[in-house]
Structure formats: structure tokens, C-alpha cells
């Protein structure tokens, strides 16, 4: 009989992302959320689940913003600029991908 090979359990990307967002939610530190369409949102992570992120301007924001995780590219702390972006041009966020629009007749 061959022995069955067992591998150590690895955390999936979703689990790592979830752990990071839960830590941001518990920390209540301000973050910058970079979206795939080039928009940047600043605020505090109030709550998170498998599909969405609740982002408020303050801890007691009466109307927080609901962001789908599918639209998020990067979440960074507010203090530090994004990795790989020159601080001189950090204020001007340049979208990498611009979708082609459909020509109308």
C-alpha cells in the first residue's frame, strides 16, 4: 500500500483578503480603496463579508458606501502612497485600462 501524501493546508486568496479586511475593520484606521475604474475612495472599513465592503467617512457615518469586492483593485492605508506609484504623481491617479465603448449607429 502506498501512503497517501498529505500537504499542509494553504490559505486561499479569498481567506487572506478576508483576514486583511477584518483586520482593517477592527483597526478602524483610514484607508484608500482603489477601484478598477480608476476611482479612489477614502474612509474607514466598517464591515465586510464575502462579496461587499462597507466604507464610511467616519465611524458613525449615517450613510456609508457599499463597495463590491469584485470592483476593488487595491486597499492601502491612508498614510502611505500605493506601492509602485511615484509620490510626485500619486495625487493624479491614471487608469491603466480604459474599456472601448460600443459605437452607436
pLDDT tens, residue by residue, 44-78: 999 888 889 999 998 888 999 999 999 999 898 88
Residue 26 lies in a domain: yes
* Coil, strand or helix at 24: helix
pLDDT (mean) for 23-38: 90
Say if 95 falls within a structural domain: no
**Does residue 48 lie within any of the structural domains?**
yes
Give me the pLDDT at residue 1, please: 64
- The CATH number of the domain holding residue 24 is 2.30.30.100
Q: How far from 21 is each of 31, 39, 84, CA to CA, in Å?
A: 10, 19, 21
Q: What is the largest CA-CA distance in the chain?
A: 69
Question: C-alpha cell of 84?
Answer: 509602485
The pLDDT assigned to 20 comes to 85
Residue 94 lies in a domain: no
Question: pLDDT over 90 for what percent of the chain?
Answer: 28
Domain range spanning residue 38? 13-77
The pTM assigned to this predicted structure is 0.62
Q: Is residue 86 part of a domain?
A: no
Residue 30 belongs to a domain: yes
Q: Is residue 93, in this structure, part of any structural domain at all? A: no
Domain count, the chain: 1
Q: How far is 45 from 47, CA to CA, in rounded Å?
A: 6
Amino acid at each position: 500500500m502506498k501512503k497517501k501524501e498529505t500537504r499542509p493546508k494553504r490559505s486561499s486568496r479569498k481567506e487572506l483578503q478576508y483576514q486583511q479586511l477584518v483586520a482593517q475593520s477592527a483597526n478602524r484606521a483610514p484607508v484608500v480603496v482603489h477601484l478598477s475604474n480608476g476611482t479612489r475612495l477614502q474612509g474607514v472599513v466598517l464591515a465586510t463579508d464575502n462579496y461587499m465592503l462597507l466604507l464610511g467617512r467616519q465611524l458613525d457615518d449615517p450613510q456609508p458606501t457599499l463597495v463590491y469586492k469584485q470592483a476593488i483593485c487595491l486597499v492601502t492605508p491612508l498614510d502611505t502612497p500605493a506601492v509602485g506609484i511615484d509620490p510626485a504623481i500619486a495625487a493624479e491617479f491614471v487608469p491603466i485600462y480604459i474599456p472601448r465603448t460600443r459605437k452607436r449607429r
